[in-house]
Amino acid sequence: MTALPSKKLEAWRYTDLAPLAAISFGAPPAAVAQQLPALDLPRLVFLNGVLSQNLSSSLAFAQPFVPGAETSAQPLAQINAEQARDGVTLTIPDGVDAGTILVISHASAGEPFAFHLRHRITLGQGASLTIIDIAKGDGVYWHNPVTDISLAAGAQLRHYRLQDESREAYNLSTIRAHIEAGAAYEHFTATIGAKLSRTEIHAALVGEQATAHLNAAQLLTDEQHGDFTTVVAHKAPNCPSRQTVRSVLAGLSRGVFQGRIEVDRIAQKTDGYQMSRALLLSPYAEMDIKPELQIYADDVKCSHGATIGTLDDAQLFYLRSRGIPEAEARSLLIRAFLDEALEPVQHADARVLFDAAIDNWWRVQ
Amino acid sequence: MLEIKNLHARIGEKEILKGVSLTVPTGEIHAIMGPNGAGKSTLSYVLSGRDGYEVTEGEVFYNGQDILALAPEDRAAAGIFLAFQYPVELPGVGNANFLRTAVNAVRRKRGEAELDAVAFLKLARAAVKRLHMKEDFLKRNVNVGFSGGEKKRNEMLQMALLQPGLAILDETDSGLDIDALKIVAEGVNALRSPNFSALVITHYQRLLDHIVPDVVHVLSAGRIIRSGTAALALELEAHGYAGLEAA
């Protein structure tokens, strides 16, 4: 197997995979029945990394998994290419609105095991699709999915992810999106689970007026580590990109946001925006933020900003003076803090899912 | 009835209140006036339970209950309402959600049934109308982008919905904004009843043209140095605090 990236690589400076490297992961065990989310949507269900025909809907646009040969400079994508045995393959024809599809991965480990799903999502011209991706499980496992996305001109993909893995698990997700003229990729990840996780997105805007919104909320506690890393490549003129990241960090947790915006020489009138805010609920929590702008065009608007703070005492007192108990007041303020990252998620089922996950996160604190 | 007995409080090492004693019987409105730095804001925060103020001596009873040990939310549930001089902005928190959360938290503590969204909205809309506010008030984020007058109206809306037995109005230095004063006065006067008391804290006599107090107290250097009828406020307006302290 290709070696895991080491901390010596700049891209992995804040996320140390040594604990993962120390575990010997076997092959996935046979799946057992699981309690799955009760959303009434067409679905594809993976148990321990294998598509469950019984639990999955029959979808018009789904195709069987075919292994692909590729070499990637990214170690995790390379490992995935070598190891992938299953995954979603969806091809939506031109002009078709394929509605919403739920993709669920559930892992249940006795002994540690690894699985490497490879998803391919292709939208034809003017096609649209919403994917709600939920990852859950229990025990020690390593989930290393790669999602390849290709959006033809004018296509729209809304990609909502709830990473709610076992607190002993590792989730290293790579997403590569190719976005053509006038197409829109809207992404939101809620990182709540896993001992150590990273979502790494490479979005290439290759035609005029292509857009990418890469938003995230990370809610971490205890010794959890969550990393949201994005690379937005502006390869055509007149493309807007936005990243809004909110991290709420309790206990000894550590959050990372690395955001790189690359603007090619031809990508004039680029409008790039990136904002990361972190709320530290404990004096031991840590947030590392690394914005990078790499600009070769001369007529662009790119901004980035980062803040790290604590809950505001004046706001807390104001709420409590109105009779709202302290725990509820804190929860209201945390929910308000996340609002800007969640706001673009206008899909009703997705909103209900994320709101419930956030409420539940708060309750168990 | 509010009874403050020999109240001493400090911020850090600095003693601000140096033995405040006063009683506000139920149904009465009392004013506290005083020069800058007398401890007026500190008194309102100590009564409502804000962190950072240490009570070193004295007692405060509200309807016979010692309130100094209570958390701010429990004081609110007991019926004490602090109208803020500078209401706090809460970006991302919708006003209707905030108000309903507050009303239901207080109802729960008072042993009353919570209001569902429909029942609450009916109540809130009626209060909004009574206070001559626009209905989009309920849809906006709490105090975000509100004018000074709108923030005051929002305080009065909260007061109307929470139905306190005692309102503490911190108007320490907002005496220059006549419109804001009128809004606060209307809010208080609307609640006047034999079961409602208010403590109006102000620097300027002007507010008392609109809320006529039963008793005026003068707070200076952390103590009440004079108490009298509403006429005392006029005397202060004419001669200033310096004249009074010399008397």
Token duo for residue B218: 């003068």
B77 to A323: CB separation less than 8 angstroms, yes or no: yes
- Which residues, listed in sequence order, are joined to residue B33 by a DSSP beta bridge? B202, B218
With 0-12 / 13-18 / 19 or more C-beta atoms within 10 angstroms meaning exposed / middle / buried, residue A53 is exposed
B44 interface with A at CB cutoff 8 Å: no
Could you give the CA distance from residue B86 to residue B94 in angstroms, rounded to a whole number?
A: 19
CA distance B127 to A75: 62
Span B165-176, mean pLDDT?
A: 79
ipTM for the assembly: 0.94
Q: What is the mean pLDDT of residues B85-100?
A: 93
The residues in B 10-39 lying below 8 A from A, measured between CB atoms, are: none
Amino acid B173: pLDDT? 64
pLDDT at A39 (0 to 100): 87
B102 pLDDT above the threshold of 90: yes
Q: Kindly state which CATH superfamily the domain B2-246 is placed in.
A: P-loop containing nucleotide triphosphate hydrolases (3.40.50.300)
Q: A232 with A214: CB under 8 angstroms?
A: yes
CB contact under 8 A, B48 and A321: yes
DSSP three-state, residue B208: helix
> Are B88 and A315 an interchain contact pair (Cβ–Cβ within 8 Å)?
yes
Distance linking the first and last C-alpha atoms of chain B? 31
How high is the pLDDT of residue B246? 47
Residue B147 CB neighbour total at 10 angstroms? 10
Which residues in chain A have their CB less than 8 angstroms from residue B101's CB? Answer: 324, 328, 332
Q: Do B72 and A317 touch (CB under 8 A)?
A: yes
What confidence tens digit (pLDDT) does each residue in B28-57 have?
999 999 888 889 989 999 999 999 999 999
Whether A340 and B77 lie within 8 Å, measured CB to CB:
no
- Return the higher-pLDDT residue of B48 and B242: B48
Nearest-Cα residue of chain A relative to residue B82: A321
Q: Are A189 and A213 in contact (CB under 8 A)?
A: no
pLDDT band for position B120 (50/70/90)? very high
Q: Residue B95 has what pLDDT?
A: 94
Could you tell me the CA-to-CA distances from B199 to A325, B65, B69 in Å, in that order? 24, 18, 20
Cα–Cα distance measured from residue A108 to residue A110, given in angstroms and rounded to the nearest whole number: 7
Which chain A residues have any C-beta within 8 angstroms of a chain B C-beta? 313-315, 317-326, 328-329, 332-333, 335-340
**How far is the alpha carbon of A227 from chain B, nearest alpha carbon, in Å?**
25
- Is the pLDDT assigned to residue B137 strictly greater than 50? yes
Q: Do residues A108 and A357 lie in contact, with contact meaning Cβ atoms separated by under 8 Å?
A: no
Q: How many CB atoms lie within 10 A of CB B243?
A: 11
SS3 (DSSP) at A244: strand
CA distances from B175 to B85, B146, B155, B180, B205 (A): 10, 19, 16, 9, 8
Among B90, B93, B105, select the one facing A323 at the smallest CB separation: B105
pLDDT over threshold 90, residue B20: yes
Which segments in chain A show pLDDT lower than 70?
A: 364-365
Please judge whether B109 and A323 are an interchain contact, meaning their C-beta atoms are less than 8 angstroms apart: yes
Which of A312, A320, A328 to substitute to test the interface with B, most B CBs within 10 Å? A320
Residue B184 phi/psi, 5° resolution? Answer: -65, -45
Taking the CA of residue A217 and the nearest CA in chain B, the distance in Å comes to 15
Edge-to-edge order in the sheet of strand B14-24: B14-24, B2-11, B54-62, B65-66
Starting at the edge strand that comes first in sequence, how are the strands of the sheet with A240-249 ordered?
A50-51, A43-47, A97-108, A128-138, A156-164, A184-191, A211-220, A240-249, A271-280, A301-309
Question: How close is the nearest chain B Cα to the Cα of A292, in Å?
Answer: 28
| Residues of chain B neighbouring A313 (CB-CB closer than 8 A) | 51
Nearest chain B residue (CA) to A326 = B73
Say yes or no to pLDDT of B247 above 50: no
Q: Are B73 and A326 inside 8 Å of each other by CB?
A: yes
Q: What does the DSSP 8-state code read for residue A57?
A: P
3-state SS class at A308: strand
Q: Which two tokens stand for residue A155?
A: 């296509």
Residue in A318, A328, A340 closest to B88 by CB:
A318
- DSSP 3-state assignment of A72? coil
Compute the distance between CA of residue A268 and CA of residue A273 in angstroms, rounded to an integer.
15
- Judged by CB atoms within 8 Å, which residues 98-117 of B form the interface with A? 98, 101-103, 105-106, 109
User: Do β-strands B29-33 and B197-202 pair in parallel, antiparallel, or remain unpaired?
Assistant: parallel
Average pLDDT over residues B166-176: 77
Distance (Å) from the alpha carbon of B141 to chain A's nearest alpha carbon: 10
Predicted confidence at residue A72, as pLDDT, reads 87
pLDDT value of position A310: 95
pLDDT given for residue A1 in this prediction: 79
Residue of B nearest to A313 (CA): B51
Residue A151: φ, ψ to 5°? -115, 115
Residue A76's H or E segment, with its range, is helix A75-83
pLDDT digits (tens, 9 = 90+) for B186-212: 888 889 999 999 999 988 788 888 888
Mutate one of A246, A279, A317, A321 to test the B interface: name it (highest B CB count within 10 A): A321
Task: Give dist(CA A349, CA A40) in Å, integer.
Answer: 9
- State yes or no: pLDDT of B244 exceeds 80: no
Q: Hey, what are A264's tokens? A: 């090619």
What are the sequence ranges of the domains in chain B?
2-246
As a whole number of Å, the CA-based R_g of chain B is 18
Over its C-alpha atoms, chain A yields an Rg (Å, rounded) of 20
H/E element, B173: none
Q: Which SS3 state, helix, strand or coil, does residue A68 take?
A: coil
User: What integer pLDDT is reported at residue B176 of this predicted model?
Assistant: 56
Asked if the Cβ–Cβ distance from A321 to B93 is below 8 Å, we say no
| Contact (CB<8Å) B162/A322 | yes
Interface contact flag, B91 A325, Cβ < 8 Å: no
Measured distance CA(A85)–CA(A74) in Å, rounded: 19
Does residue B62 belong to the interface with chain A, where contact is any CB pair within 8 Å?
Answer: no
Alpha carbon of A322: minimum distance to chain B alpha carbons (Å): 6
Query: Among B76, B93, B101, whose Cβ lies nearest the Cβ of A321?
Result: B76
**CA separation for the pair A124, B110 (Å, rounded):** 59
> What is the spatial distance between Cα B9 and Cα B222, in angstroms, rounded to a whole number?
9
